[in-house]
């Protein structure tokens, strides 16, 4: 590090976005006190804020929470910050910048971190009222002010920024359309198949996607009312968000005579110097190697490069891997390495689950040794290890498909072992350039014991957050390597496991998420802890799930599964599949009255599809009045207990499987758990109820019932294991009570019973000791807790139907009770299906 000069070097930074701020943060961290006099100019009226998570502003995150550092931070580090002040000129010869207020400031080194502006295509009418760009908090405030006048919004642009804008439109309660000029969404990151999977996932959430569309005009007076396209089609909209890309802010550089690219961008060398060696450009304004980088991570690396060289070190910028993992409107999307390389230069392996909306592609070298790149849509949990496998030239397994199939249901222990085997120089946090060695050494040297401490110490995981799961794996693996006990915590907001949180909730009589996090956690929570805590609260107190609506997903919020086109399904409980003719008639009448698509499911229930959210309370009022109750098809709870007809009708039946299935389903209805639960009861070994593919299954024997547990169907089917034989009905129910409550108390969030048992030390033998032999002395407590759940059960939909305040929640728009006009259907096989 250079020694402090007699007179501090004058550094002027133009631009106070994320990259401009990061330059300042890195400089004050590396420089000796008094070595530099730093002056920063920002056009916006507020200090730098997190644009990566800008869409969170629409779901309640405040501008202060998005702020990267308050004004006081700049003051503490002797940085002269000018907000709301535009730099209008640079005199490179005299090294003076001028602002629109007439201020002149001299510099020794000038940093251009001017970023980019939204690219607005030259469309007739783009200047009309109701047309917005998606760039700053002020843009977002303007949208929020205008949204009450609108019902339908369109977004021009189907790339990353466009889909972020679409989420914003949805969060404002608007019917949302995405207009994309190309033939697929996110064309720079996804191939045709991956894009199609993403498109279907977004359409299932109610977003209309229009591809191959070139907008020719925006009509309306004074505000936007209609869009017209080159193919002659039209779209009625009340609001338009333009998010078609970015344009580097290079106007100052052009005016100062600095070299720029033919399509814009300030030309820089590997040291990020412009054509004037005392002027540097970083972030989205810089053109390096013919590339404008639109992600924050390369901008941070550019800032690191300039700072390192300023303080006497040596570093060059050689380009940046544009691999990225995103969550777009709740859908995981990732691409890494070379996502598009294919035969004959590589072997491509593809996994596709069209039902669940999952697409995975990996590209393997011709010799089968190395991973070259890939694409993940719908499930991207193994992105970090795949990226590390590419970057560090790690030899792939003999069965290369294990790269995308082997991680499904894999344990965190195996993930931790994998990340610990990476080389020390492997970059774990691309945004901050933090290596595996730095993280592991910090854990050891600083005695770090949680992810939050790693973030504070190394800065890893403090930007986009994509590497946070890997930080957790590294922490656990390193602590185990050091011989320390590893505590499995729920997430960075709670330093407790799920089981410990459940105990805290019970002991302290905690009824809300806010109460829990304020007394026993920190921050505002996340997508990991909020649904987990919601499940814990429901499993403990058995209260109406709508009391936790703010931390539930859409399905639990509206007590129904959202379907394609934005409509919902209605699924009454039909215990054991048994239904009277009168109730069957009611279902037919309701379905006919509301024009619903009907289907008998594999779980012996009748689904009714196509209900608007505003129709749900009226539909359920008729069903409740006819004696139906919620089937909990939307919840992490008991779904069905399937049965065959048993001894009542079947000549092979040994016992009344229908009656027992009904008894079990009515006992455990509404029971909230870490994941969904399914059961089955078969009247003989012919197994017509398929009980051995369920979380719990019961098969009749000549002496009673055989009980099977911890099976499931789905992407990774697993047979249930025989737990106990020849049980009488009372004993079978007692074991089930204990088993289900033990699962609820000890399983990790979103673990099915099969996964829970697979991870359990001692396996099925240990579980027998706990449930049958009462080795832990807790069986009486488990039975008592289950009795509480049974005694306090209430049908959720009956509560809603009889509560006028709750009924008011069920409307599509926040500002009007009118239904969504964009929901359309077409006839198919005598019924209706959604048009998407």
467 annotated as belonging to a binding site for a ligand = no
Q: What pLDDT band is residue 414 in, cutting at 50, 70 and 90?
A: very low
Domain closes at, from 310, 340, 359: 310
Alpha carbon of 124 to those of 120, 211, 245, 246, 673: distances in Å? 11, 20, 18, 20, 55
Tell me how far apart the alpha carbons of residues 479 and 486 are, in angstroms, rounded to a whole number: 6
Residue 738 domain-assigned? yes
pLDDT per residue over 194-222, tens digit each? 999 999 989 888 899 999 999 999 999 99
Question: Does residue 268 share a domain with residue 229?
Answer: no
Question: Does residue 238 share a domain with residue 186?
Answer: yes
pLDDT per residue over 357-405, tens digit each? 899 999 999 888 899 999 999 888 788 888 888 888 888 888 888 888 7
Question: Does residue 234 share a domain with residue 182?
Answer: yes
pLDDT per residue over 216-262, tens digit each? 999 999 999 999 999 999 999 999 999 988 899 999 999 999 999 99
Residue 539 domain-assigned? no
CATH number for the domain that contains residue 160: 3.50.50.60
* Predicted pLDDT at 565: 64
Q: Considering only CA atoms, which of 187, 143, 191, 149 is closest in space to residue 165? A: 143
Spell out the SS3 assignment of 387-411.
HHHHHCCCECCCCCCHHHHCCCCCC
Least confident of 215-219, 231-235, 427-431, 774-778: 427-431
Tell me how far apart the alpha carbons of residues 250 and 602 are, in angstroms, rounded to a whole number: 61
650 annotated as belonging to a binding site for a ligand = yes
Q: What pLDDT band is residue 1 in, cutting at 50, 70 and 90?
A: very low
Least confident of 191-195, 497-501, 563-567, 780-784: 563-567
Residue 155 domain-assigned? yes
Residue 202 domain-assigned? yes
Q: What pLDDT band is residue 548 in, cutting at 50, 70 and 90?
A: low
Question: Does residue 164 share a domain with residue 68?
Answer: no
Residue 410 has pLDDT above 50, yes or no: no
CATH number for the domain that contains residue 633: 3.30.413.10
Residue 618 domain-assigned? yes
Tell me how far apart the alpha carbons of residues 707 and 463 are, in angstroms, rounded to a whole number: 50
Task: Give ∠ CA 135-465-745 in degrees, rounded to 5.
Answer: 130
Q: What percent of the chain has pLDDT over 70?
A: 95
Q: Is the distance from CB of 97 to CB of 85 less than 8 angstroms?
A: no
> Could you tell me the residue range of the domain that residue 289 belongs to?
9-116+248-310
Q: What is the mean pLDDT of the chain?
A: 88
* Predicted pLDDT at 491: 81
Q: What pLDDT band is residue 407 in, cutting at 50, 70 and 90?
A: very low
Q: What pLDDT band is residue 836 in, cutting at 50, 70 and 90?
A: low
* Predicted pLDDT at 156: 96
Question: Does residue 293 share a domain with residue 161?
Answer: no
Question: Does residue 252 share a domain with residue 205?
Answer: no
Q: Taking residues 22-40, what's their average pLDDT? A: 93
Question: Does residue 773 share a domain with residue 625?
Answer: yes
710 annotated as belonging to a binding site for a ligand = no
Residue 577 domain-assigned? yes
Domain closes at, from 310, 330, 364: 310
* Structural domain count, the chain: 3
Q: What percent of the chain has pLDDT over 90?
A: 51
Q: Which two tokens stand for residue 153?
A: 């919004």
pLDDT per residue over 583-606, tens digit each? 899 999 998 898 888 877 667 788
* Predicted pLDDT at 353: 86
Domain closes at, from 218, 244, 270: 244
Q: Taking residues 155-166, what's their average pLDDT? A: 90
Place of tokens 């795949």: 386
Residue 741 domain-assigned? yes
* Predicted pLDDT at 415: 40
Question: Does residue 207 share a domain with residue 112?
Answer: no
Neighbour tally for 792: CB within 10 Å: 11
Neighbour tally for 604: CB within 10 Å: 20
* Predicted pLDDT at 208: 94
Q: Considering only CA atoms, which of 313, 315, 312, 374 is closest in space to residue 342? A: 374
How far from chain centre, in Å, is Cα 724? 40
Question: Does residue 684 share a domain with residue 711?
Answer: yes
Question: Does residue 265 share a domain with residue 240?
Answer: no
Question: Does residue 177 share a domain with residue 66?
Answer: no
Whether the model pTM is above 0.75: no
Residue 732 domain-assigned? yes
Place of tokens 């409509």: 567
* Predicted pLDDT at 412: 39
684 annotated as belonging to a binding site for a ligand = yes
Question: Does residue 70 share a domain with residue 206?
Answer: no
Residue 823 has pLDDT above 90, yes or no: no
């Amino acid at each position: 590090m250079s020694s402090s000069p007699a007179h501090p070097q004058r550094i002027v930074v133009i631009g106070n976005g994320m990259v401009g701020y990061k330059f300042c943060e890195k400089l004050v961290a590396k420089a000796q006190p008094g070595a530099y006099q730093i002056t920063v100019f920002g056009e916006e009226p507020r200090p730098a804020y997190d644009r990566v998570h800008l869409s969170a502003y629409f779901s309640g995150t405040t501008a202060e929470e998005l702020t990267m550092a308050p004004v006081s931070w700049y003051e503490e580090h002797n940085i002269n910050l000018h907000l709301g002040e535009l730099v209008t000129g640079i005199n490179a010869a005299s090294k003076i910048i001028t602002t629109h207020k007439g201020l002149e400031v001299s510099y020794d080194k000038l940093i251009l971190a001017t970023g980019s502006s939204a690219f607005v295509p030259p469309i007739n009418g783009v200047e009309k009222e109701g047309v917005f760009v998606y760039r700053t908090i002020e843009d977002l405030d303007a949208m929020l002010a205008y949204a009450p006048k609108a019902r339908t919004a369109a977004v021009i642009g189907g790339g990353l920024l466009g889909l972020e804008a679409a989420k914003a439109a949805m969060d404002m309660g608007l019917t949302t359309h995405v207009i994309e000029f190309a033939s697929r969404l996110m064309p720079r990151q996804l191939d045709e198949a991956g894009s199609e999977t993403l498109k279907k996932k977004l359409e299932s959430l109610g977003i209309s996607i229009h591809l191959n569309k070139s907008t020719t005009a925006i009509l309306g007076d004074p505000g936007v009312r209609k869009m017209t396209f080159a193919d002659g089609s039209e779209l009625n909209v009340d609001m338009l968000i333009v998010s078609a890309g970015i344009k580097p802010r290079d106007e100052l550089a052009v005016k100062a005579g600095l070299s720029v690219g033919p399509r814009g961008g300030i030309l820089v060398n590997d040291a990020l110097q412009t054509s004037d060696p005392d002027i540097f450009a970083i972030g989205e304004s810089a053109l390096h190697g013919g590339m404008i980088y639109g992600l924050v991570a390369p901008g941070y690396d550019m800032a690191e490069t300039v700072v390192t060289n300023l303080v006497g070190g040596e570093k060059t910028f050689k380009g940046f891997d544009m691999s990225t993992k995103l969550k777009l409107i709740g859908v995981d999307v990732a691409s890494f390495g070379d996502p598009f390389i294919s035969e004959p230069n590589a072997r491509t392996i593809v996994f596709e689950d069209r039902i669940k909306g999952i697409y995975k592609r990996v590209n393997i070298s011709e010799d089968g040794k190395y991973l070259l790149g890939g694409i993940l849509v719908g499930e991207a949990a193994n992105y970090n290890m795949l990226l590390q496998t590419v970057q560090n030239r790690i030899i792939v397994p003999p069965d290369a498909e294990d790269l995308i199939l082997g991680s499904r249901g894999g344990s965190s222990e195996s993930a931790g072992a994998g990340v610990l085997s990476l080389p020390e120089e492997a970059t774990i946090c691309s945004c901050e350039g933090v290596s595996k060695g730095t993280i592991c050494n910090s854990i050891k040297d600083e005695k770090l014991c949680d992810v939050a401490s790693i973030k504070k110490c190394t800065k890893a995981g403090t930007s986009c957050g994509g590497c946070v799961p890997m930080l957790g794996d590294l922490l656990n693996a390193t602590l185990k390597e050091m011989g320390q006990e590893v505590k499995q915590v729920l997430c960075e907001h709670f330093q407790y496991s799920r089981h410990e949180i459940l105990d805290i909730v019970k002991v302290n009589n905690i009824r809300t998420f806010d109460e829990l996090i304020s007394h026993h956690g920190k921050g505002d929570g996340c997508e990991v802890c909020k649904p987990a805590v919601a499940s814990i609260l429901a499993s403990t107190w058995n209260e109406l799930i709508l009391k936790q609506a703010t931390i539930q997903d859409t399905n639990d919020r509206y007590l129904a599964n959202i379907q394609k086109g934005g409509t919902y399904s209605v699924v009454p409980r039909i215990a054991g599949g048994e239904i009277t003719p009168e109730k069957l008639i009611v279902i037919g009448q309701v379905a006919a009255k509301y024009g619903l698509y009907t289907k008998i499911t594999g779980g012996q229930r009748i689904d009714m599809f196509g209900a608007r959210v505003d129709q749900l309370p009226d539909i359920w009022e008729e069903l409740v009045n006819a004696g139906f109750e919620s089937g909990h098809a939307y919840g992490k709870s008991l779904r069905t207990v399937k049965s065959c007809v048993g001894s009542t009708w079947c000549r092979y039946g040994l016992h009344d499987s229908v009656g027992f299935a009904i008894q079990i389903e009515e006992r455990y209805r509404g029971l909230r758990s870490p994941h969904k639960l399914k059961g089955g009861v078969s009247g003989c070994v012919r197994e017509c109820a398929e009980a051995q593919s369920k979380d719990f299954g019961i098969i009749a024997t000549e002496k009673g019932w055989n009980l099977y547990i911890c099976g499931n169907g789905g992407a990774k089917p697993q047979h249930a294991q025989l737990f106990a034989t020849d049980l009488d009905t009372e004993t079978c129910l007692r074991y089930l009570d204990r088993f289900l409550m033990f699962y609820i108390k000890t399983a990790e969030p979103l673990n099915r019973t099969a996964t829970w048992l697979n991870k359990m030390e001692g396996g099925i033998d240990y579980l027998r000791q706990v449930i049958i032999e009462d080795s832990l002395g807790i069986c009486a407590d488990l039975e008592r807790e289950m009795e509480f759940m049974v005694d306090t059960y209430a049908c959720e939909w009956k509560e809603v139907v009889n509560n006028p305040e709750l009924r008011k929640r069920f409307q599509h728009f926040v500002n009007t009770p009118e239904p969504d006009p964009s929901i359309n259907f077409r006839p198919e096989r005598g019924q209706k299906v959604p048009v998407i």
